[in-house]
Amino acid sequence: MITLAVVVILLVSLYLYNTRTFKYWEQRGIKHDKPLPLFGNNLKGFLFIKSVTQVAHEMYLKYPTEKVVGFFRSTQPELIIRDPEIAKRILMTDFDYFWQRGITPHKTVFEPLNQNLFFADGDIWKLLRQRMTPAFTSGKLKAMFPLIVERAERLKVRALAAADEGKSIDARDLMARFTTDFIGACGFGLDTDTLNDENSAFRKLGIKIFKFGAKDILKGIAKELFPEIFKNLKVWVRLEGDMNDLVGEILRQRNYKPIGRNDFIDLMLECKQKGTMVGESIEKRKPDGTPERVSLEFNDGLIGAQVFVFFAAGFETSSSATSFTLHELAFNQDVQKKAQNEIDRVLAKHNGQLSYDAIKEMTYLEWVFKEGLRMFPSLGFLLRRSTRPYTIPELGVTIDDNVKVLIPLQSLHNDPKYFPEPEEFRPERFDPEEFDSNNKYVYLPFGEGPRACIGARLGLMQSLAGLAAVLSSFTVEPAPETVRRPVVDPKSAIVQSIAAGLPLKFIARKK
């Protein structure tokens, strides 16, 4: 009897623990689905039936008249934002309340690779952003562009070999190889040739970053189901050795000094040469309310962390966006022809050569790419976490500190309220004379505000160069095995990916 009583007490205690927060949104008058013990509203996510983006999209559609929707990720309350004005407050107007990204537990165990602009929070993020922003000026991008052009030419050669054999090409794999080759050159100063080397170690590293084994998946689930117990589990420990070895070797080859190559390593070494980073704290205040002064050494460990996120963010986002754009062009031949005519006209003005200035003139191609990002944004959502209690003016609702807010980009980008006939691929939406300025905080593929993607312009230019290289030499068409509406991988986390690739026919153009 004593044993049975203990079991009952344990079960009741476990139930109470796992439902302790479930009145949170009800008490604030926020509509939400009834949560399940332990799983909250995220059972489909934990079982990998739907991705994070897909789960959020399901909730977005379920409450069409609400400005916000309550959600429980296990026991943790989250708020899904359906209203662009509230999104603007979170990202811009009231940023002081939402400077935490919210992807990793705040002040958790130190993980070196997390000390980068994307993952880091607080003073580390603020000082890094302050120091690194000058590294992404137009002049720096222009100096880096010849490295992009070299990789774009290799991209054409790779596609031509398959086109001559009449084979279909997985556009996702092709553009991932181009992106990895670009990152090798522009990020690390390496000639990796991942476009042609099937066994490239650099390509394998790119795949490894986003390939999570069963152990990694279980870690992630444990951290969400029992955040207080497993908050110190490390996520990127499996990659620390690889990244540190690679970056350390490159730094040694350069004698820890810029060599004038204008790649990302050079830019980071320039940041290091400027000495200790100093600035006003975003976390700490003096008794009089003014921010304290904080400092941080820009050491080799921080360089490694920035190079890691440059690799990770650039590899997956750009290849996903460009390959999906090619997929849509294959099914919209009139749009493709219009883009090709512009590319041909601009290249004729520039002696047939891709260049920074040539890409800047390809305005219709830019609209094409932006439309691809509208339909399938690489980041399906933006995430922030409140740093202190915050009242949403439009609702008069106050949320506590450490509550995450999710802005569902996939949902907003494809809402007919903002983009009529959203399933139609129509680049003219981004003609400045047609684009609705009210949609500025609806269309957010690179984020917005102080935490917007610092490499957005570099990613845009590299992606446009890849698309221009392909479309100047090829017409893409659906292959026999092409699926019109590709299936999203339900295991996708921050970055969305297609489950089974994007096979297309690449037909050499007759000039």
Binding site as annotated, residues for heme: 453
Q: Whose CA is closest to 371, among 324, 311, 303, 315?
A: 324
Cβ pair 76, 105 in contact under 8 A:
no
Which residue shows structure tokens 């957010």?
A: 444
Which residue shows structure tokens 């997956």?
A: 316
User: Which H helix or E strand runs over 361?
Assistant: helix 356-361
CA distance 466 to 473: 11
Buried b or exposed e, range 157-192, using 16+ CB within 10 angstroms: ebbeebbeeeebbbbbebbbbbbbbbbbbbbbbbeb
CA distance 256 to 289: 40
Q: Which residues contact 317 (CB under 8 A, 6 or more apart)?
A: 378, 379, 459, 495
Q: DSSP letter string over 223-272?
A: HHHSHHHHTT--SSHHHHHHHHHHHHHHHHHTTTS--S--SHHHHHHHHH
CA distance 113 to 115: 5
The pair of structure tokens assigned to 159 is 């596609």
CA distance 509 to 499: 30
Cα R_g (the chain), whole angstroms: 24
The DSSP letter of residue 491 is: T
CA distance 463 to 498: 18
CA distance 435 to 456: 20
CA distance 466 to 357: 15
Which residue shows structure tokens 């500025």?
A: 440
User: Which H helix or E strand runs over 68?
Assistant: strand 68-73
Q: Which residues contact 42 (CB under 8 A, 6 or more apart)?
A: 55, 71, 72, 73, 74, 224
Say how many residues make up the chain: 511
- For residue 389, count other CB atoms closer than 10 A to its CB: 11
Number of H helices, E strands in the chain: 19, 11
| Binding-site annotation: residue ranges | 453
Q: Whose CA is closest to 465, among 372, 373, 362, 371?
A: 362
Q: How many Cα atoms occupy the beta-carbon half-sphere of 83 within 13 Å?
A: 14
Q: How far is CA 6 from the centre of its chain?
A: 47
CA distance 25 to 43: 18
Planar angle of CA 404, 286, 397, nearest 5 degrees: 30
